[in-house]
Structure 1
Amino acid sequence: MHERAGTPATEADLIDVEALVRAYYDLKPDASVPAQRVAFGTSGHRGSSLSTSFNEDHILAITQAIVEYRTAQGITGPLFIGADTHALSAPAQTTALDVLVANGVRVLADAYDDFVPTPALSHAILKWNNDPARRAEGEADGIVITPSHNPPQDGGFKYNPPHGGPADSDATTWIANRANELIAGGLEGVNQAEPSGVETYDFRGEYVADLENIIDFDAIKRSGIKIGADPLGGASVHYWAAIRDRYGIDLEVVNERVDPQWAFMTLDWDGKIRMDPSSPQAMASVLANAGRFDILTGNDADADRHGIVTPDGGLMNPNHYLAVAIEYLFGHRSGWRHDASIGKTLVSSSMIDRVAAGLGRHLWEVPVGFKWFVPGLVDGSVGFGGEESAGASFLRFDGTVWTTDKDGILLCLLASEIRAVTGKSPSELYRALVAKYGDPAYERTDAPATPEQKAALGKLDGDQVHATELAGQPITAKLSHAPGNGAAIGGLKVTTDDAWFAARPSGTEDVYKIYAESFQGPEHLKVVQAEAQRIVTEALGG
C-alpha cells in the first residue's frame, strides 16, 4: 500500500495532457519492439502514447485491420463507435473515423458528441441486430475507445462484433497480427480520408429509455430512497441526470466534473490515479458522502464497472455484492427461464457457489473474461454473468438479452431496486448470506515469475500438481480448464471443501496473480496463499 493511498492527488501526480496528445501523433511505434506492438488483452489494446504503445499509427493499423476482418466475416451493417473521457480517446476516435470513412464503412457516432459508456455501445449493437428490419440492412458491430479504469495517461481500443460483447481471441489475434503487419509495412494498405458523412445515434436516449425493461423504477420511486451517483469523471456523467429526469427518482449526481487529468481523484492503493470504483482508496472522496444517501454508487471511466456504497457497510467488496445481486435477481425475475444458469468467473468468490446451490440453480464457471458469458446471455440460458473485478450484466424482465458487455450503470441501479424492494441495504443482505453460508476471506496477491515461468504457468495442466492437500484439507479439484465450458483458464485452480486458489500469469508484469479464498478465516487464508506459491513452484519444476 502506497503511503499516500486514499489521499487527494497533487499537482505532481497529474499528467501533462498536451504532451500526452502530442506524443500520440509524434511518436512512431517499431513493430519489432514487443512493448510497441499491438496486443489485445481481455479488453482490447491498451497502452500510453508516452511509451509508444498507444499512438496514431496503432489506431490507423488496428482500424484498418478491423475493416478487413469485418469484410471477411461478411459484416455489412453499420459500425457504432464511442469513446470515454480519457485524453487519448478523442484523438483515437478521430483517427478511427478517418480510416472507417475511407473504407466506405457506414459509421454511427453519438448524436450529441457525448461520451459513450461501454454498455451503451453494446446495447446499441444488440438493438440494431435484434430488429429484423434493421438487420436486413446488414449486421452491426462496434468500436469502443477506452482503457476502462486505467490511469489518465492510458488509451484503449476495443472491438465488439455483432453479438455486442468483447471479441473472442480468434478475432483479436487476427486483428492484432494484421495491425502489426501494417505497422511493420509503413502503414501501406491503410486507407484514410476526411471523416465526412458520419451518421449519428442517440446512445444515451436509447439506453436510458430501455432501462424500464430491466429495472423496477416504480419500486424505487415509491420507496423515496435517496440515491447518489458519482461517475468518477467518466462516460456515464450525463447518463445519470437523464435517468433521474426520465424516471423521477430522487437521485443526485454528486460529481459532474470531467477532467482528463482526474485532479479530483484520490490515489489508488499503489499511489496512482485510477478510476476503480471497487477500490476503497480510489473511492475515498466518494465514501465521504456515504451518510447522505441510502445508496451511493460509482462507475469507472467507461461505466462497465460498479462500486456500491451503503451507509451501514461502506464500499462493498465486489464479490459480496455479486452474491447479493444473484440471490435477489433469481428471486425477483419470474420471466427468466427456469433453468437459467448463474455465470461466474473461476476467480470469483465461492460464496456465489453456495448461493447458487441454495437457489437450486446451475453454476456456470468460466475463465477470466466477460466474453465467455456472451452466448448464454444472448440465448437466455445465463441469467446473470459476473466477474470479481466488479463487472456484470443480466437479463431483462422477460428473459431476453440486455447487454453482452459489463454494465456498471445497470448494477448500480439494481442496488437501489434491491434497497427499495427489500427495505434492506445490500450490505445487510450480505450479512444474512454470511450467517447462512459462512464468512469467506478473499484476497488477490502477486508472486514473482520469470517470463519462462509465466509461459509455463499459462499452459499448466492440473495433472502436473502432485499435492493432495491444501492448508490441511484434501484437494477436491485441480483445474486447468473451466468446469462451465471446458475452456483453458490459462493457469491453475486448486480447490478444497472450504478453500481454493487460482494462479494466472500477469500480462504486463513479471509476476503471477494468486487469487485465494477461505471459509475458515483470514489466518487460514494466509496458509492457503503460502501453500499456493509452493504448489505452483513445484508444478513448474522449481
Structure 2
Amino acid sequence: MTVHHHAGKPARPEDRINIGRLVSDYFLKIPNTDIPEQRVSFGTSGHRGCATKTSFNEQHIVAICQAVAEHRKAQGYTGPLFLGKDTHALSEPAFASAISVLIANGVNVVIQSDEGFTPTPVISRLIIEHNRNNKEQADGLIITPSHNPPTDGGIKYNPPHGGPAEGDVTKLIEQRANDLMAANLVDVNTVDFEQALQSPLLSKQDFIEFYVDQLDQVVDMQAIAKAGVTIGVDPLGGSGINYWPVIAKKYGLNIEIVNPVVDASFAFMPLDKDGKIRMDCSSPYAMAGLIAMKDDFDVAVGNDPDFDRHGIVTKSGGLMNPNHYLAVAINYLMTHRSWPETTKIGKTLVSSSLVDRVAEHINRPLSEVPVGFKWFVDGLFDSSYAFGGEESAGASFIARDGSCWTTDKDGFIMALLAAEILAVTGKDPHQHYKHLAEQLGEPCYGRVEAVANSEQKKVLTALSADAITADTLAGEKIVNILSHAPGNNAAIGGIKVTTENGWFAARPSGTEEIYKIYAESFIDDAHLQTIIKEAQEIVSAAFKAAGI
C-alpha cells in the first residue's frame, strides 16, 4: 500500500468530520436489512459501522441491546450490566440508546459516576471482580469502534467471563438484532432517556477509583516510583484520559500527559498511512507526535480510544513494533514473576515467531490460537495462561499473585509494564528486544492484502492442509501446514505454512473482497518478500484447484 503524501502530518480542515451531520444520521437514517452492509454484523470486536453509511445507527443499537437483554435473561444473568463508552462522536448517542433499552428490559445498569468514559479493560475488571464474589452474574457492553476513524461507531458484548463474547453468542445476538430490525423494532422495549436516568435500575460507580486502586496487583508500581521513571502519555483523546492523573497521584509516578485534549473529531491526530484520521497507537504515522517527544521521557506510551491497545515509545528505538514488544514483555514477565512453570504463553498464529523462540529459550509452554482475543479468555480466566497477546498491539496478563486480572486486552498494564521493565532492569524495552534478537534471530515481518471474491474467500476459509501441494517456500522445505491452531485445534479460517526460518498465514477478510497475508522471515527482507510472493502463488493455486 502506498503511503499517503500527508501521512504523519497534522490533520487538515478537509480531513475533519461534520459531527452534527454524523449524529443526525445516527438518528435519521434507517437501515435496510436486505442490504448486507446495513445489517448488524459482529466481527472479532463486535459490531462496527458508520452512521452516514447506514451501518451504525440508532436502530442497530436498540436492536442489539434488546437482543443482549433477551440473551442474558435466557442465560439467567441477574447481576448488573456494566456499560462503558469511548470518546468517538457516535458513542454518546449510542450510550443513551443503550440505557433506554436496557432499563426498559429491567436490566440493572451500572455506569461511570460522572457519566464519563470507560475503557474496555475496566469493564472486564469490573465484571470479573463482581462475579468472583457474587452468585448473580454480571456482564457488560462497551460502546467503541476501537481505533477506527472518527466517523465510526461500535459496540461489543462481554459475558460473565469478562472477555469478548464467543462466536456462538455473538451469532445469536446478531441474528436476533437483524430479525428485530426487519420487523420494524416492534419487540424492542424502550423508555425515555431522561426517565431511564431516574430509574432505580440505573446506578453509578467510580470506575476510575475501582480500577486504579488495584493496579499494583498486576504491575510493580512501587518499583516504577522508586526508580523515578519519567513517563510521557498520549491518550490519543481516548477513554482513559482521566485515569492517568489518578494513577500518577496514587502511586507517586512521574507522568506527564502530553495531549490532554478530548475532541470527538480527533482533529489533533496526525494522519495515518492512508491519509485518514485513525487512532492506531501501533502506527508510526498516527503516533508521530509522541515519537517526536521520545527524548523528553524515559519511556512514552499511547493507547487507542478504548484503551485495549498499547504503543510503546523508547529513547533508544522510537515506536516499538508490536511483535517486538510482545516478545520482550513475555520474556520479562516469565522471568520476573513467581508464576507456576505450567502457565502458558498465549499468542495468535499471525504473531511473530520470535515469541515461539522466547518460549523455547525460557522453557515455558506456548499455546498458538487463531486470530481474535476471545481465544485467550478461558486461559486468562482460570490462569492457565499467564499471558495472551496478538500482533495488533493488544495483550493482557495475570496478576502478580497468579490470579486473573482481565480477560480482555488491557492497554494500561501493557503501557505501565514498559516502565516497570526499565525500572527493574535499567534497560528499556527496545534495548531488551535488541538483546533477544541477537540471541534468537532478527525477524522481518510483513502484511499485505490481495483481491479475492466471495467464492474464493469461502475456499480459503475452508482450506485444508492437504490442498497445499507445494513442498518448499522461498527456498526452504515446508515443515508444517496448518488449517487448525495447534494451541486449541480451532479452525483458523485459512492456512498457515511454516519453514525453519519463515512462515506465512493467509486469511480472508470478513468485510472486504480481499484476503490478508501475514509473513515473517528470520533471514532478511528479501527472503520475506519471496515468502509473500510465493504465498500468493500457493493461494492462487488452491483457488484454481477448486475451479474458481
TM range (shorter): over 0.9
Distance 1:348 1:193 in 2: 45
Distance 2:115 2:102 in 1: 18
Question: Secondary structure at 2:214's aligned position in 1?
Answer: helix
* Equivalent pair of 1:337/1:380 in contact (CA under 8 Å): no
2:377 paired with 1:343:
no
The residue number in structure 1 matching 2:525 is 522
Amino-acid identity (%): 56
Which amino acid counterpart does residue 381 of structure 1 have in structure 2?
S
Aligned counterpart for 2:378 among listed residues 367, 375, 378: 375
After the TM superposition, which of the residue ranges 193-202 and 475-484 deviates more from structure 2?
193-202
The residue number in structure 2 matching 1:146 is 144
Map 1:206-285 to 2 at 5 A.
206-285=210-289
The residue number in structure 1 matching 2:335 is 331
The residue number in structure 2 matching 1:20 is 22
**Residue correspondences, number:** 537
After the TM superposition, which of the residue ranges 211-220 and 385-394 deviates more from structure 2?
211-220
Distance 1:112 1:386 in 2: 32
Task: Give unmatched runs, 5+ long, in structure 1.
Answer: none
Once the 2 structures are TM-superposed, how far is the Cα of residue 73 of structure 1 from its aligned partner?
Answer: 1.0
2:5 paired with 1:3:
yes
Map 1:350-429 to 2 at 5 A.
350-429=353-432
2:60 paired with 1:58:
yes
Moved over 3 A (4+): none
Distance 1:520 1:367 in 2: 25
TM-score (norm 1): 0.98
Which amino acid counterpart does residue 105 of structure 2 have in structure 1?
N
Deviation digits for residues 331-366 of structure 1, max 9, x if unmatched? 1111x2220000000000000000000110111000
Aligned counterpart for 1:533 among listed residues 536, 540, 543: 536
Question: Secondary structure at 1:50's aligned position in 2?
Answer: coil
Distance 1:357 1:42 in 2: 29
Distance 2:237 2:205 in 1: 23
Which amino acid counterpart does residue 161 of structure 2 have in structure 1?
H
2:300 paired with 1:296:
yes
2:106 paired with 1:104:
yes
Question: Secondary structure at 1:262's aligned position in 2?
Answer: coil
* Equivalent pair of 1:337/1:381 in contact (CA under 8 Å): no
Distance 2:543 2:221 in 1: 53
Aligned counterpart for 1:30 among listed residues 32, 50, 61: 32
Aligned counterpart for 1:185 among listed residues 183, 186, 198: 183
Task: Give unmatched runs, 5+ long, in structure 2.
Answer: none
Deviation digits for residues 26-52 of structure 1, max 9, x if unmatched? 000011110000000000000000000
Once the 2 structures are TM-superposed, how far is the Cα of residue 508 of structure 1 from its aligned partner?
Answer: 2.0
Which amino acid counterpart does residue 72 of structure 1 have in structure 2?
A
Aligned counterpart for 1:488 among listed residues 484, 488, 491: 491
Map 1:153-192 to 2 at 5 A.
153-192=151-190
In angstroms, what is the RMSD of aligned CA positions?
0.7
Which amino acid counterpart does residue 62 of structure 2 have in structure 1?
L
The residue number in structure 2 matching 1:83 is 85
Distance 1:214 1:57 in 2: 40
Once the 2 structures are TM-superposed, how far is the Cα of residue 462 of structure 1 from its aligned partner?
Answer: 1.3
Question: Secondary structure at 1:130's aligned position in 2?
Answer: helix
Distance 1:540 1:166 in 2: 33
Which amino acid counterpart does residue 53 of structure 2 have in structure 1?
S
Once the 2 structures are TM-superposed, how far is the Cα of residue 3 of structure 1 from its aligned partner?
Answer: 1.2
Once the 2 structures are TM-superposed, how far is the Cα of residue 81 of structure 1 from its aligned partner?
Answer: 0.1
Question: Secondary structure at 1:51's aligned position in 2?
Answer: coil
Once the 2 structures are TM-superposed, how far is the Cα of residue 2 of structure 1 from its aligned partner?
Answer: 1.0
Aligned counterpart for 2:448 among listed residues 426, 445, 450: 445
Once the 2 structures are TM-superposed, how far is the Cα of residue 443 of structure 1 from its aligned partner?
Answer: 0.6
The residue number in structure 2 matching 1:311 is 315
